[in-house]
Amino acid sequence: MRGCAWDRVALQRQVAERLGAAVASGRVAHAYLFVGPAGSGTLAMAQAFACALVCDDQGCGACPACAQVWSWSHPDVFRLKPEGAAGYTVDQARELVREVGLRPVWGARKVYVLEDADRLGHAAANALLKTLEEPPASAVLVLLARSYEAVVPTVASRCQVVRFAPVPEQDAVAVLVERTGASPQEARASLAAAGGVLARAEALLRSPSSLAARSLAFDLLKRLPYLDAYDVLLAAKDLLEAVRAPLEDLKAAHAAELAERQEFLGKEASTSDIEKRHKRELTARERESIAVLLGAVSSWIRDALVVGAGREDLVANADAADAIEEVAYAMTPAAAVRALKAVEAARRRVSYNVSPQLAIEAMLFDLQEVLKCPR
């Protein structure tokens, strides 16, 4: 298997070898369905595969094309997520069909990565079927899903299925320690916040502002029972600001891209297409950032639950062990489940386009109630 791009997905060696062999022999299918549980690395594998497809050297991992694939800025590699409350919209599917028909910008191939393919409903799926069946020779579609059964059968049956085994936690921790220089303890805490998703945990460990948001949330959980309603609202605002801080880099990159375009085409040129894309990217990154924060809060509550059951060895957030222990002694399992449900409700609300501010406020009030009276 050639190319260092595959090094990043070493935890799924068999899958990497299978896909690498397909690229090397020129026998690449036009549509794949990657199926694996959270944390099994389907998204990172899709990126490594895209590298192998668009890089001149089958995914060298070092050239500009490979670097652009990893930062999702390659002009021939696309990442799609559901844009409607109920999943992928028919408009999204039609836009994809149109886009697939265009020629690649740089090379011979275009790669489309569709996350959450289980949220591709019948209507959107129908708009896509013909493209899935016989896309132009240049296009490769890679659909990602947690389970095969959750994907509309007409879609699943038109893809080559690649199954991913779950990655043992200690293997993921070892990789994170090696890549980021974090301690095993920090790596475990990040994995817990990231819901087991390796790339997300790595991004968290590398982002001081994201780590600061996590610390702020843990500090708030400790103080929450003693705050009045007004303070809770202020805390929600602070928390959201902390969650948005890591987005500043992306905003700066967007401003630079816009300035460059205007310099090239003149001030009067339309930039609405770029601005629309920027807005989508920002929303996606904000949701990602909120997901990590909510993941951290869930893992804190889960820690209290396992400590209460006498399993201190299973605690993921060792840096917050004191506060967790204090809560654990008072909290019943039923109360912990109520708290976890409050976090889950916030996650759902954000995914249904409720304002993040409102979602976090509601969650904090619910958590406060549980932590005040943890019976």
Q: Which is nearer to Zn ion, 20 or 308 (CB)?
A: 20
* Angle at 186 (CA atoms; ends 209, 224), nearest 5 degrees: 65
Token code pair at residue 238: 């602070």
Min dist CB 199 to Zn ion, Å, is 19
At 142, phi and psi to the nearest 5?
-125, 110
Min dist CB 71 to Zn ion, Å, is 13
Min dist CB 136 to Zn ion, Å, is 23
Distance separating the N- and C-terminal Cα atoms of the chain:
56
77 binds Zn ion (CB under 5 A): no
Q: In terms of C-beta distances under 8 Å and separation of at least 24 residues, what long-range contacts does 296-299 make, across chains too?
A: 296/189, 296/192, 296/193, 296/214, 296/217, 296/218, 297/217, 297/221, 297/343, 297/363, 297/367, 298/340, 298/343, 298/344, 299/189, 299/192, 299/193
Min dist CB 9 to Zn ion, Å, is 15
Q: Which is nearer to Zn ion, 65 or 217 (CB)?
A: 65
Using CB under 5 A as the criterion, what x/- string covers residues 27-56 for binding Zn ion?
A: ----------------------------x-
Closest by Cα among 51, 79, 86 to 65:
51
155 binds Zn ion (CB under 5 A): no
Q: Which is nearer to Zn ion, 5 or 139 (CB)?
A: 5
Neighbour tally for 71: CB within 10 Å: 9
Min dist CB 55 to Zn ion, Å, is 3
Min dist CB 66 to Zn ion, Å, is 3
Among 11, 33, 66, 175, interactor with Zn ion by CB under 5 A: 66
Yes or no: say if 162 and 35 are a contact pair by the CB < 8 Å rule.
Answer: yes
Q: Which is nearer to Zn ion, 41 or 61 (CB)?
A: 61
67 binds Zn ion (CB under 5 A): no
Q: Which is nearer to Zn ion, 45 or 220 (CB)?
A: 45
User: Residue numbers of the site for Zn ion (CB under 5 A)?
Assistant: 55, 60, 63, 66
